[in-house]
Structure 1
Amino acid sequence: MSDIEEIKLRRLDLTVLLVFLNLLRLRKAVDVAAHMGLTQSSISHSLNRLRAIFDDPLFLRRPQGLEPTAFALALEPKIRIAVEALGLALSKPEAFSPAEAQGVVRIAAYDAQLAVLVPGLICALDRLAPGLRISATAIGRREALRALEDRQVDLAFGYFWDVSDNFIAEELGQETYRVAARHGHPLFDSDMTLESYVAQRHLMVSMSGDFNGVVDRSLERLGLSRHVAAVVPLFFPALATLSQSDLIATLPTRLVDRHGASFGLQSCLPPLQIRPFTVSAVRHARDARNPMVDWVVSQVRAFSTLRADTSVGAVEAG
């Protein structure tokens, strides 16, 4: 675009373009003024601007009204396309059509959320949006936010306790904990007490390899501690380990409910109060009005029944 063309473009506005199109249609300035709710002087002023910008009279006065020049008639389809494009930009986004959608939905989450949320989502897409594909990556919170920032993923699921204004977090529900161990573990021979719980050898899940987590902080408030015999970075290796050992683990309720039986595990409520956590779907702010992301989140919400289970055993942490 040349400098002269840019200067001319800056002199145009949507009102002037609408005046041009309405003059072509109605052929009388008084009728255009009434139709647009403007004064006749405003119409004349707009026409003068158009003539100066395009260096053409555009409309010739005749007894029956205004007659467009050949240049004006040739200009009309180009102006109409520009106005319609602006109108489309101002209109509401088209409704998302899952059955016709094509593309890849990229998701980041820790493996617990992948195991609980993604299977249902894949089934929903297979049934309602077969043209959409899922690509899921098992990464932690910080890496997931970085991937959203870098456009590597569309959504992140998990526990995000604070996010900047660059992101939008939508709560899916509250998650609680269950104590899990192999079927027939002596721990289940009688009602679990806090004493029998802390006396066990514990398995813990931590991507960073830490031996201290939310359970330990709850025990500390009671002046107690437990023995963490092993730490693994993911939840499914934890389930597999429990099935082959006498270790116990305190794991997210939904994970145990969905997959514990497949590993031959039993579970029960922990004998102390452990702070529940919120599971959210997080997107980048640039996707605040992305209809595909909206639809995917709505599907996850439809089959996700995350809710807090406030029941605990005989002893509660203060």
Structure 2
Amino acid sequence: MSDFNHLKMRRLDLTVLLIFAGLIRHGKASLVAQELGLTNSSISHALRRLREVFEDELFLRRPHGLEPTAFARSIEPAVQSALDALQSALVGPTAFDPGQSAAHIRLSAQDYEIATLVPALMARLHQSAPGITLSIQAHTKADALKALEAGDVDLALGFFPDRSSKHLSTVLFEESYLVTARADHPFLRDGPTLERYLAADHLLVSGDATMAGIVDQVLAAQGLKRRVVLSVPLFLPALAMLADSPMIATLPAALVRLHAARFQLSFTPPPITVRTFQVHALRHVRDEKNPMINWLVDELNGIRG
């Protein structure tokens, strides 16, 4: 757009455009003044500015009122379209109809969220929003925040202690831990004591291949230590390994409750107190009023309701 047009647009404002549309509609300055709560003098000043900006007379005085020129009639659809667009912005987003939507929603989630939330979410979508599709990308926490910032994903699921003011968080649920192992494991069979817990071989799930996690921090604070013999990056393979293994694992409770039976595992609360953590649905602030994202968050909340 040229600097000349910029200068012209700076001379226009919403009131001037409303007056133009009103004069097209009514053809009488007095009616427009009454409709907009303005004085006749304000209408005259606005009409003078419109004529200077558009370099056209725009409205000709006739015995019955003001008659739009051909130029005024030619630009009226564009002016009305601009007013309609602004009206829509002021009203806000329209309601989202999941039953009629064919939207594709992009999530960021790791295997814990995929294994605990996504199956139930898909079951809900099958009933209430059969046209919606999902794709899921596995990100680190830092990369998930970057993906939200870049607009590469619509929603991120997980534990995000380092989120910023750019992100809006909804807590879906509070998660704790359970110890799981094959049903005849001595730790479960003979009693889940702290002594047997420390004596067992432990399987750790760690995305960065470390050999220590939150449990080890809790134990270290008490001057205790367990023996981690294997670290793997994914939860479901970890559960599969435990079925025929002497190892035990301390894993998020929702995951264990949902999937232990299929791997013929049993479980019990840990003999130490491990802090809980929150599972969040995280969106960028630009989507605060996005009706589709708000609906999706409500669906996720309903899973744990």
TM-score (norm 2): 0.94
Give 1:1-318 correspondences, 5 Å limit.
1-305=1-305
CA-atom RMSD, angstroms? 1.7
Q: 1:142 to 1:68 in 2, by over 3 A?
A: closer
Measure the CA separation in 2 of the matches of 1:63 and 1:156. Answer: 65
Measure the CA separation in 1 of the matches of 2:68 and 2:56. Answer: 10
Measure the CA separation in 1 of the matches of 2:137 and 2:2. Answer: 47
The answer to whether the 8 Å contact 2:207/2:234 transfers is: yes
Measure the CA separation in 1 of the matches of 2:62 and 2:137. Answer: 70
1:312 alignment counterpart: none
Measure the CA separation in 2 of the matches of 1:8 and 1:131. Answer: 46
Measure the CA separation in 1 of the matches of 2:244 and 2:237. Answer: 11
1:316 alignment counterpart: none
203-212 or 254-263, larger mean C-alpha shift: 203-212
Measure the CA separation in 2 of the matches of 1:57 and 1:177. Answer: 76
Instruction: Tell me how far 1:182 sits from its aligned partner.
Output: 0.6
Q: 1:73 to 1:147 in 2, by over 3 A?
A: closer
- Structure 1: 4+ residue segments shifted above 6 A: none
Measure the CA separation in 2 of the matches of 1:37 and 1:31. Answer: 10
The answer to whether the 8 Å contact 1:98/1:128 transfers is: yes
Q: 1:196 to 1:86 in 2, by over 3 A?
A: same
The answer to whether the 8 Å contact 2:109/2:137 transfers is: yes
- SS at structure 1 position matched to 2:117: helix
- SS at structure 2 position matched to 1:171: strand
Q: 1:61 to 1:165 in 2, by over 3 A?
A: same
Deviation string for 1:16-48 (max 9, x for gaps)? 111112122222222221211111111100011
Instruction: Tell me how far 1:130 sits from its aligned partner.
Output: 1.9
Letter in 2 for 1:279: V
Residue segments in structure 1 that go unaligned for 5+ positions in a row: 306-318
TM-score (norm 1): 0.90
Measure the CA separation in 2 of the matches of 1:103 and 1:135. Answer: 11
Letter in 2 for 1:30: S
Letter in 2 for 1:161: P
Instruction: Tell me how far 1:151 sits from its aligned partner.
Output: 2.7
The answer to whether the 8 Å contact 1:114/1:138 transfers is: no
Deviation string for 1:57-114 (max 9, x for gaps)? 2222333322333332333223222221222222210001112212321112221111
Aligned length: 305
- SS at structure 1 position matched to 2:133: strand
22-31 or 114-123, larger mean C-alpha shift: 22-31
